[in-house]
């Protein structure tokens, strides 16, 4: 009997930020369950988290390379979550470039050991990995933290003639290559894309990364055909060498090992907030609103006060994750809401909260991961974009206006300017509409329909499942060019 062929090997290199890393850990598991050997490249302080997420998978191993020491960054700062200020983001990304030599060493060792990787999947911000991969004849697949449509919009903007660029926030943008499910305004565009300063360090990084991006062998997209299939062709048109965009998501929904599922169930039951949700589930299903704005948004104390009073006025049970370490709740507020509200300051397993039947709405900043997790669980969003430099405005419009799976928080004035502090009455009205109004009911129905599509996409024979098999087949047969 012929011996079984040796397993295929691939390398995954995440950017050192949780929102970028976690989806790549999810796809690592999907590859590993299909029998591929996955090597994840990371740094010493990021390794423990990755081990905690992948330790049940013998096909996944880590290759740990040092994080470069630069004077501007604090000792031990190896993740964007450790940055004392986002003003150091450009410094952080520039520092990572110094990992090129040890990264290439990992690839050469694999080749010398007779296990050349069939590809390297690396983050958009690790643009320099393209040169390394080309020099060694390995296809590079780029991974983004955005959906296909938001990425296509951002790429289209670089082609706009100077005379057609808008001047005010409420100016409409016409992108001839794209059919948009909403009206696009200048206010929706990530800051710096239309009016970037060429001397700004971050602007230079974006130009660098974009060039490596469009020259990559392919693109991994954490999305699914049923959600974004109409926009994938337009997105692919920006790439060279007939590169394809592989919608393989939602990545976190892929089948897991049996022992992993059992361990997660036990772990979830130990969380205090899951125990709290269990108590809420008995009274009224889908009654709880979950509030979280991610790890990067910084809300003023005044805004946090307004949210607090709004939640008290709305009288819906809530779980609120407050990232601020300096905010003190208004006097007497915690006592007044203790029967119906849970305020958390530490890390939470967001997916376990969104998947709980007691959770019926999500007040969110609309980062792509959060949005995808919410609709995959059939939970409608109350969209409140926070960061102007990211895709949050685009994501919010896509899910609210394009799919009708949420409501928008009024967060801009009549001139398109961002409202510095949204008042309690406005927040309360929108929470009540999402959780109990007619528009909220329709949004919930749409979210639940999208959730069924999302789960179907990763099941055997689903669109993402088939696309993943297709990708592995193309790489193993070396049909593509590196």
Considering the domain architecture, whether residues 303 and 241 belong to the same structural domain is answered as no
Residues 335-352: tens digit of each pLDDT = 999 989 999 998 899 999
Backbone angles phi, psi at 169, to 5 degrees: -60, -30
Work out the average pLDDT over 316-326.
91
| Least confidently predicted of 15-19, 74-78, 197-201, 467-471 | 197-201
Q: Which of 405, 413, 328, 327 is nearest to 366 (CA)?
A: 405
- Does position 366 have pLDDT exceeding 50, yes or no? yes
Considering the domain architecture, whether residues 343 and 204 belong to the same structural domain is answered as no
Backbone angles phi, psi at 198, to 5 degrees: -60, -15
- Does position 270 have pLDDT exceeding 90, yes or no? no
- Does position 464 have pLDDT exceeding 60, yes or no? yes
* This prediction's pTM: 0.92
For the chain, what is the domain count? 2
**Residue 415: inside a domain:** yes
Considering the domain architecture, whether residues 274 and 219 belong to the same structural domain is answered as no
What is the reported pLDDT for 415?
82
| More confident of the two residues 162 and 109 | 109
Work out the average pLDDT over 381-399.
90
- Does position 482 have pLDDT exceeding 60, yes or no? no
What is the reported pLDDT for 481?
40
Work out the average pLDDT over 391-406.
96
**Residue 223: inside a domain:** yes
**Residue 1: inside a domain:** no
Considering the domain architecture, whether residues 442 and 467 belong to the same structural domain is answered as no
- Confidence band of 161 (pLDDT split at 50, 70, 90): low
| Tokens found for residue 26 | 């999810």
What is the reported pLDDT for 284?
64
| Tokens found for residue 435 | 């959780």
Considering the domain architecture, whether residues 64 and 187 belong to the same structural domain is answered as yes
| Tokens found for residue 375 | 């609709």
Furthest C-alpha separation in the chain? 76
Work out the average pLDDT over 443-452.
97
**Residue 205: inside a domain:** yes
User: Which domain does 299 fall in, by range?
Assistant: 270-456
- Does position 80 have pLDDT exceeding 80, yes or no? yes
Work out the average pLDDT over 74-85.
91
Considering the domain architecture, whether residues 241 and 368 belong to the same structural domain is answered as no
**What is the DSSP track for 49-83?**
HHHHHHTT-TTEEEEE-PPPP-TTSPTT--SGGG-
- Does position 12 have pLDDT exceeding 70, yes or no? yes
Considering the domain architecture, whether residues 31 and 117 belong to the same structural domain is answered as yes
What is the reported pLDDT for 323?
87
| More confident of the two residues 406 and 163 | 406
Work out the average pLDDT over 208-215.
93
| Tokens found for residue 160 | 């706009």
**What is the DSSP track for 307-359?**
HHHHHHHH---EEEE---SS--PPTTHHHHHTTTEEEE-S---HHHHHTSTTE
| Tokens found for residue 383 | 């969209």
Q: Cα(12)–Cα(126) distance, rounded to whole angstroms? A: 11
The angle subtended at Cα 55 by Cα 51 and Cα 58, nearest 5°, is 125
Considering the domain architecture, whether residues 166 and 94 belong to the same structural domain is answered as yes
Work out the average pLDDT over 394-407.
96
Work out the average pLDDT over 69-94.
91
Gap between the terminal Cα atoms of the chain: 34
What is the reported pLDDT for 263?
67
What is the reported pLDDT for 166?
75
Considering the domain architecture, whether residues 274 and 384 belong to the same structural domain is answered as yes
**Residue 3: inside a domain:** no
Q: Cα(297)–Cα(310) distance, rounded to whole angstroms? A: 19
What is the reported pLDDT for 479?
38
Work out the average pLDDT over 450-462.
95
What is the reported pLDDT for 11?
98
What is the reported pLDDT for 261?
66
Considering the domain architecture, whether residues 139 and 75 belong to the same structural domain is answered as yes
Work out the average pLDDT over 124-130.
97
Residue bearing tokens 């983050």: 123
Strand bridging mode 37-42 / 60-64 = parallel
Strand bridging mode 288-292 / 140-143 = unpaired
Considering the domain architecture, whether residues 281 and 239 belong to the same structural domain is answered as no
What is the reported pLDDT for 168?
82
Say how far residue 459 (Cα) sits from the centre of its chain.
Answer: 21
Residues 6+ positions from 48 with CB-CB distance below 8 Å: none
The angle subtended at Cα 432 by Cα 361 and Cα 424, nearest 5°, is 105
| Least confidently predicted of 85-89, 132-136, 260-264, 273-277 | 260-264
Residues 6+ positions from 243 with CB-CB distance below 8 Å: 214, 216, 217, 218, 219, 236
Considering the domain architecture, whether residues 71 and 134 belong to the same structural domain is answered as yes
- Does position 57 have pLDDT exceeding 80, yes or no? yes
- Does position 480 have pLDDT exceeding 70, yes or no? no
- Residue 142 sits in a domain of what CATH number? 3.40.50.2000
Where are the alpha helices (H) located in 68-147, listed in sequence order?
89-96, 100-112, 129-136
């Amino acid at each position: 009997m012929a011996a079984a062929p040796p397993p295929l090997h691939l390398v995954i290199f995440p950017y050192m930020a949780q929102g970028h890393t976690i989806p790549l850990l999810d796809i690592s598991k999907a590859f590993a369950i299909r029998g591929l050997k996955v090597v994840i490249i990371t740094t010493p302080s990021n390794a423990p988290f990755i081990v905690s997420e992948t330790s049940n998978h013998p096909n996944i191993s880590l290759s740990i390379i040092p994080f470069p020491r630069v004077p501007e960054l604090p000792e031990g700062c190896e993740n964007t979550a450790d940055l004392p200020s986002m003003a150091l983001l450009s410094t952080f990304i520039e520092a990572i470039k110094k990992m090129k030599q040890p990264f290439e060493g990992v690839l050469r060792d694999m080749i010398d050991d007779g296990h050349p990787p069939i590809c390297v999947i690396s983050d958009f911000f690790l643009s320099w990995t393209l040169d390394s991969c080309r020099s060694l004849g390995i296809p590079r697949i780029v991974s983004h933290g955005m959906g296909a449509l938001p990425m296509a919009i951002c790429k289209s903007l670089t082609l706009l003639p100077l005379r057609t660029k808008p001047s005010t926030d409420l100016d409409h943008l016409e992108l001839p290559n794209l059919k948009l499910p909403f009206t696009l305004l200048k206010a929706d565009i990530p800051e710096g894309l239309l009016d970037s300063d060429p001397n700004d360090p971050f602007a230079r990084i974006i130009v660098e990364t974009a060039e490596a991006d469009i020259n990559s062998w392919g693109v991994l997209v954490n999305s699914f055909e049923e959600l974004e299939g109409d926009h994938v062709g337009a997105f692919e048109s920006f790439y060279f060498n007939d590169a394809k965009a592989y919608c393989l998501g939602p990545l976190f929904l892929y089948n897991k090992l049996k022992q992993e599922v059992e361990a997660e169930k036990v772990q979830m039951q130990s969380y205090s907030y899951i125990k709290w949700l269990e108590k809420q589930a008995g009274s009224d299903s889908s009654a709880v609103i979950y509030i979280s704005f991610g790890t990067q948004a910084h809300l003023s104390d005044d805004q946090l006060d307004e949210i607090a009073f709004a939640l008290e006025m709305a009288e819906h049970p809530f779980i609120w994750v407050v990232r601020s370490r300096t905010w003190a709740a208004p006097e007497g507020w915690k006592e007044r809401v203790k029967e119906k509200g849970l305020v958390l300051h530490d890390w939470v397993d967001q997916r376990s909260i969104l998947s709980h039947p007691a959770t019926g709405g999500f007040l969110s900043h609309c980062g792509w991961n959060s949005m995808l997790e919410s609709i995959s669980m059939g939970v409608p969003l109350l969209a409140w974009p926070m960061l102007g430099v990211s895709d949050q405005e685009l994501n919010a419009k896509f899910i609210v206006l394009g799919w009708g799976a949420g409501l928008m928080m009024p967060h801009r004035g009549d001139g398109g300017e961002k409202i510095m502090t949204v008042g309690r009455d406005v927040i309360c009205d929108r929470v009540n509409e999402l959780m109990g109004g007619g528009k909220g009911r329709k949004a919930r129905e749409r979210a639940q329909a999208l959730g069924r599509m999302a789960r179907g996409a990763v099941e055997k024979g689903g669109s993402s499942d088939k696309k993943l098999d297709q990708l592995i087949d193309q790489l193993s047969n070396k049909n593509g060019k590196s």
